[in-house]
A and B are shown apart, each in its own frame.
Chain A
Amino acid sequence: MSYSPSTDADRARMLRTIGVNSTDDLFVDIPAAHRDPTLDLPEALPEVDVLRLVRGLADQNQIPEGVASFLGAGFYRHFVPALVDQQLLRSEWYTGYTPYQAEMTQGTLQSMYEFQSLVCRLTGMEVANASLYDGATALAEAVLMCRAITRRSGVVMAGTVHPAYREVAATYTQAVDVDIRTVDGWSRSDGGVAPDVEAVAAAIDDTTSCVVLQRPDFFGWVVDPTPVVEAAERHGAKIVYVVTDPISLGLLTPPGDLGADVVAGELRALVGPPAYGGPGAGMLATRKAFIRRLPGRIAGRTTDLDGQQGFVLTLQTREQHIRRERATSNITTNQALVALGAAISISALGPGGVRSLATRSLSAAHRCAAALKDVGATVFDAAPYFHEFILHAPRGGEATVDALAAHGVFGGYPLGRVAPALDDTLLVCATDLTTRADVEALTSAWQAIHRG
């Protein structure tokens, strides 16, 4: 039951070699009073039975096979080629570890190098690391990086950045000298909700280490960041972009062309369904000049003694196992397998595929908004959006979500969770996986709950 292959005869032989009488003799250093506690744990289960147990739990969860889902809000469903998971099930990938011995792990190292290169091309940046825990921690590390680069403590955070990402950045910076100032970056009027990028720009001053914008932002908008970029440049502040849906990079101008110093993002959508939020993979890309401030693993290309191409973990003096308390971060284990999946997915889709998923997502969202308008709903769409839009929910966002769920539709994310002024709105997402039937289910559920 423990997957140990040892027989009692093996154990007896080993004990003889060691020169002790019993296994108990190996645990004598543990204080006797606390040795061998009685654990209140269930009994061991063979494979079939444990699977039956877990399947029973899985069957209690509703999934998009049976529900029309319009949930996004930082966790997106896109088409993922079948070969991605086939690759991730290869033992040679998933049962190895960090490539400490380069000669024996060239596959992992080369794939990391390719991953970094692909991330650079997607984001328009010069260097990237080999992944962080998720998009939210990537943002936290980006903020810490900018503090180290600029030696300034101020952070201007747009309120249009994912709320959970903002919370994680606050957690990571609470004990060090960082002062995060959150500026809404949006405004509410009777006519709807609109971006206010000027307000973010106005908050930047000479104490600002970095300004953080999300693209598309949490409300789905694609805004022209020029006012923020100009203000940041004027005050010597760094510009951090957050990208929660990597597919958006197939269509939108990359952050590297918009003055980005650091790009922090989440890559899960390239690899598989949301998996209740994880494991994903955080990406962190920056300019060449800041490479020595990047946290986490980085693979580099070099040559061996014969001059043959090979790959190594590089710039390791940034890392905790060498630099200890002076490391750029404490991160060790990252999200390598998910990052590998992202590299495979991008390679299999190619530029046409990535762009097509992005365009299909944009089209689906805009057609979905139009269909909702056709049944009398109000969409707050004065600002341009990618694949998520704000739907007016006059009965209240939370109540509307509950009512739609009763009709087998996950209608969206209630934005009242971000700000009370948005209590009567829903954030609705559609992607390349959204079907006409899904939209019909949404519009008829909408009509049903607003009838009479």
Chain B
Amino acid sequence: MPGRRSIVASEPLIFELASSGRPGVRPPLAQFDDVDPASVLPEGQVRESLDLPEVSEIDVMRHFVRLSQRNHSIDTAIYPLGSCTMKYNPKINEVAARLPGLLEPHPYQPETSVQGLLALIHDLEAVLGEIAGFATVTTQPAAGSQGEMVGLLCIQAWLRSRGERRATVLVPDSAHGTNPATATMTGMRVEPLGTAPDGNIDLDELDAKLNDDVAALMLTLPTTLGLFEQRILEVTRRVHAAGGQVYGDGANMNAMLGRVRPGDLGIDVMHLNLHKTFTTPHGGGGPGAGALGVQAHLAPFLPGPQIVRRDSGYALEPAGPDSVGRVHAHLGNVGNLIRGYTYIRSLGREGMREVANDAVLNANYLRARLAPHFDIPYNRICMHEVVLAGTRQRRLGVRTTDIAKRLIDYGVHPPTVYFPLIVDEALMIEPTETESIESLDQFAEALISVADEAKTAPDLLHAAPSAAPVRRLDEVTANRSPDVNWTAAD
């Protein structure tokens, strides 16, 4: 299988397919007599030229079809990016989100005319609260990192309401980069927290760093090492005793569905990534949706408007006086809320546990199969993902990048690499529950084969990929003199 150069040859830029005077798609017939823009707009406000490519409909279609074929996707093959939960995206979700009654409504049409949509979002918020163990959920955040921001702002607002000001956020060294970045955006100071040799939070260090300036601990559960924090109840108890709050990064909720509710473990506020756990497609980078669940004491601070159910029907309740404010022009990525809702109703009560069971089983199966071939620094029962270290291979002069690039030649998308930062040469593998044992075996065998090649033919890895549309790309020049906007002179 390796070694074959892709049949998808290089594709010109859309600008290079243009030809002056070539017609595009026809706009609608005029319903009204034309008004000359220059006769109604101020002088100098009508643009003189619009330099967009003129490409025929068929060429536009072919161009983007050919580009799409230069991609890897879940519907092509396993996509085991750790921390991203690249599971199958059920097609019924796409049908549901495109129903005209859900796709067409306008944010400002009367609430009485969108009762079905409001009911759906309201029910989704209730169901997410039930699944994760939170009193109130808002689905306004557009993605997980926006949920983090809202969560930290809610914690600040709650502290202020108690006459307290605290400015430190404890962030474990294994955390996603969004956690410290969010803390900065909310004006807080980040204090890193170490990981103990068993992969749990170092409780002594936690105690040493807890003080009356600590607003929150941001905790990913399961951790980015793919491990369940074994002393979670002790961690949340100690943070609370010191007057702080516990923020849960719910990116890894897939491992816990139906098995445990993070809200039951002392977590005060947590975001859920609908594009990870609840199968809304990743879209080549987005859109996602980042619901945020909070315990009752934080609910008054959530963004508005919130959907409420009254005797007369569903209504949009404006933000209260304590709200941290709005984070989206309307109610967030509603299309993805519909997809997430469709998925949850498809799974039902019974399906939840099955997801977590098979996600965790698949990850542990890969751990068992790969353990003889790779170092695993925290080698115990893992949750939805397993983190390998390419340290054995590094001693042979092969880096994790080389392993990842060689996997591409096998038609396999590499795992997340070099993350978490606390694992040397990390390879973070999340297979998800929707991969079959055959698919897992194929992936494991590709990785084992690459590990063998690292010993016998390391140059293959250094030169990889050789079967992709391009070979390794010059990122240094791209950074030094960025070309991010095509101009004809190029």
Residues of chain B from 441 to 490 with CB closer than 8 A to chain A in the complex: 465, 468-475, 477-479, 482-486, 490
Closest chain A residue to B55 by CB distance?
A347
Residues of chain A from 348 to 371 with CB closer than 8 A to chain B in the complex: 348-357, 359-360, 362-364, 366-367
Q: Does B350 contact A (CB under 8 A)?
A: yes
* Contact A349:B25 (CB < 8 A) given known A27-B360, A87-B68: yes
Q: How far is the CB of A245 from chain B (nearest CB, A)?
A: 13
Residues of chain B from 55 to 86 with CB closer than 8 A to chain A in the complex: 55, 57, 60-61, 63-76, 79, 81, 84, 86
Q: Does B248 contact A (CB under 8 A)?
A: no
Q: Are A47 and B28 in contact (CB under 8 A)?
A: no
Q: Are B71 and A97 in contact (CB under 8 A)?
A: no
Residues of chain B lying within 8 A (CB to CB) of residue A315: 479, 482
Residue of A15, A20, A320, A330 with highest tally of chain B CB at under 10 A: A330
Q: Does A189 contact B (CB under 8 A)?
A: no
Could you list 29 A-B pairs, sorted by A, with CB under 8 Å?
A2-B347, A4-B354, A4-B434, A18-B365, A18-B367, A34-B261, A57-B116, A67-B113, A77-B106, A83-B57, A100-B81, A103-B471, A104-B465, A107-B68, A107-B71, A110-B11, A113-B13, A133-B146, A137-B146, A168-B327, A253-B48, A273-B104, A275-B104, A279-B286, A308-B470, A321-B176, A330-B146, A347-B60, A360-B32
Q: Does B264 contact A (CB under 8 A)?
A: yes
- The docked-state distance in angstroms from the alpha carbon of A351 to that of B25 is 11
* Contact A137:B325 (CB < 8 A) given known A10-B436, A30-B259, A354-B52: no
* Contact A15:B361 (CB < 8 A) given known A54-B99, A114-B486, A167-B326: yes
Q: Does A176 contact B (CB under 8 A)?
A: yes
Q: How far is the CB of A387 from chain B (nearest CB, A)?
A: 11
* Contact A305:B484 (CB < 8 A) given known A39-B352, A104-B413: no
Q: Does A185 contact B (CB under 8 A)?
A: no
* Contact A402:B110 (CB < 8 A) given known A44-B348, A81-B57, A325-B183: yes
Contact with A along B1-29 (1 / 0, CB 8 A): 00000000011011100000011111110
- The docked-state distance in angstroms from the alpha carbon of A174 to that of B53 is 42
Q: How far is the CB of A112 from chain B (nearest CB, A)?
A: 8
Q: Does B54 contact A (CB under 8 A)?
A: yes
Q: Are A330 and B285 in contact (CB under 8 A)?
A: no
Q: Are B284 and A54 in contact (CB under 8 A)?
A: no
Residues of chain A from 263 to 321 with CB closer than 8 A to chain B in the complex: 266, 272-281, 291, 297-306, 308-312, 314-317, 319-321
Q: Are B329 and A336 in contact (CB under 8 A)?
A: no
Q: How far is the CB of B374 from chain A (nearest CB, A)?
A: 16
Q: Does A160 contact B (CB under 8 A)?
A: no
Residues of chain A lying within 8 A (CB to CB) of residue B326: 136, 164, 167-168, 171
* Contact A127:B285 (CB < 8 A) given known A83-B61, A172-B185, A333-B144: no
Q: How far is the CB of B197 from chain A (nearest CB, A)?
A: 16
Q: Does A452 contact B (CB under 8 A)?
A: no
Q: Are B70 and A57 in contact (CB under 8 A)?
A: no
Q: Does A451 contact B (CB under 8 A)?
A: no
Which of B54, B143, B182, B284 touches A93 (beta carbons < 8 Å)? Answer: B284
Q: Are A94 and B281 in contact (CB under 8 A)?
A: yes
Contact with B along A10-36 (1 / 0, CB 8 A): 110111011110010111111100111
Q: Are A133 and B143 in contact (CB under 8 A)?
A: yes
Q: Are A83 and B60 in contact (CB under 8 A)?
A: yes
Binds B, one of A151-159, A203-211, A427-435: A427-435
Which 3 residue pairs spanning A and B have beta carbons closest together?
Answer: A277-B330, A58-B101, A44-B348
Q: How far is the CB of A424 from chain B (nearest CB, A)?
A: 18
Q: Does B40 contact A (CB under 8 A)?
A: yes
Residues of chain A lying within 8 A (CB to CB) of residue B433: 2-4, 6
Residues of chain A lying within 8 A (CB to CB) of residue B345: 42, 45, 50, 53-54
Residue of A317, A331, A354 with highest tally of chain B CB at under 10 A: A331
* Contact A127:B408 (CB < 8 A) given known A41-B348, A279-B336: no
Which of B40, B153, B437 touches A384 (beta carbons < 8 Å)? Answer: B40
Contact with A along B87-107 (1 / 0, CB 8 A): 111101011101111111111
Q: Are B94 and A134 in contact (CB under 8 A)?
A: no
Q: Does B117 contact A (CB under 8 A)?
A: yes
Residues of chain A from 185 to 241 with CB closer than 8 A to chain B in the complex: 222-224
Closest chain B residue to A126 by CB distance?
B485
Closest chain A residue to B150 by CB distance?
A171
Closest chain A residue to B334 by CB distance?
A276
- The docked-state distance in angstroms from the alpha carbon of A274 to that of B108 is 10
Q: How far is the CB of B330 from chain A (nearest CB, A)?
A: 3
Q: Are B328 and A133 in contact (CB under 8 A)?
A: yes
Q: Are A106 and B71 in contact (CB under 8 A)?
A: yes
Q: How far is the CB of B60 from chain A (nearest CB, A)?
A: 5
Q: How many residues of A contact B (CB 8 A)?
A: 212
Residues of chain A lying within 8 A (CB to CB) of residue B190: 324-325
- The docked-state distance in angstroms from the alpha carbon of A176 to that of B183 is 11
Contact with B along A48-78 (1 / 0, CB 8 A): 0011011111111111110101010111010
Closest chain B residue to A108 by CB distance?
B284
Q: How far is the CB of B205 from chain A (nearest CB, A)?
A: 18
Binds A, one of B226-234, B238-246, B292-300, B387-395: B226-234
Residue of B50, B303, B351, B419 with highest tally of chain A CB at under 10 A: B50
- The docked-state distance in angstroms from the alpha carbon of A108 to that of B66 is 11
Which of A34, A36, A253, A346 touches B45 (beta carbons < 8 Å)? Answer: A253
* Contact A91:B75 (CB < 8 A) given known A298-B484, A323-B181: yes
- The docked-state distance in angstroms from the alpha carbon of A326 to that of B327 is 22
- The docked-state distance in angstroms from the alpha carbon of A104 to that of B110 is 46
Q: Are B482 and A95 in contact (CB under 8 A)?
A: no
Q: Does A118 contact B (CB under 8 A)?
A: yes
Q: Are B185 and A330 in contact (CB under 8 A)?
A: yes
Q: Does B203 contact A (CB under 8 A)?
A: no
Residue of A44, A121, A347, A367 with highest tally of chain B CB at under 10 A: A347
Closest chain A residue to B92 by CB distance?
A47
Residues of chain A lying within 8 A (CB to CB) of residue B28: 79, 360, 432-433
Q: Does A443 contact B (CB under 8 A)?
A: no
Which of B61, B282, B288 touches A95 (beta carbons < 8 Å)? Answer: B282
Q: Does B180 contact A (CB under 8 A)?
A: yes
Q: How far is the CB of B233 from chain A (nearest CB, A)?
A: 5
- The docked-state distance in angstroms from the alpha carbon of A2 to that of B53 is 45
Contact with A along B297-335 (1 / 0, CB 8 A): 000000100000000000000000000111111111111
Residues of chain B lying within 8 A (CB to CB) of residue A30: 228, 256, 259-260
Q: Does B46 contact A (CB under 8 A)?
A: yes
- The docked-state distance in angstroms from the alpha carbon of A346 to that of B490 is 21
Q: Are A222 and B42 in contact (CB under 8 A)?
A: yes
Which of A14, A107, A305 touches B362 (beta carbons < 8 Å)? Answer: A14
| Extra 14 A-B pairs, beta carbons < 8 Å, given A117-B485, A320-B177 | A1-B351, A14-B364, A18-B368, A20-B364, A58-B99, A60-B114, A175-B156, A277-B332, A321-B176, A327-B184, A333-B275, A338-B287, A344-B60, A363-B30
Q: How far is the CB of B139 from chain A (nearest CB, A)?
A: 10
Q: Does A322 contact B (CB under 8 A)?
A: yes
- The docked-state distance in angstroms from the alpha carbon of A317 to that of B479 is 9
Q: Are A279 and B42 in contact (CB under 8 A)?
A: no
Q: Are B75 and A92 in contact (CB under 8 A)?
A: yes
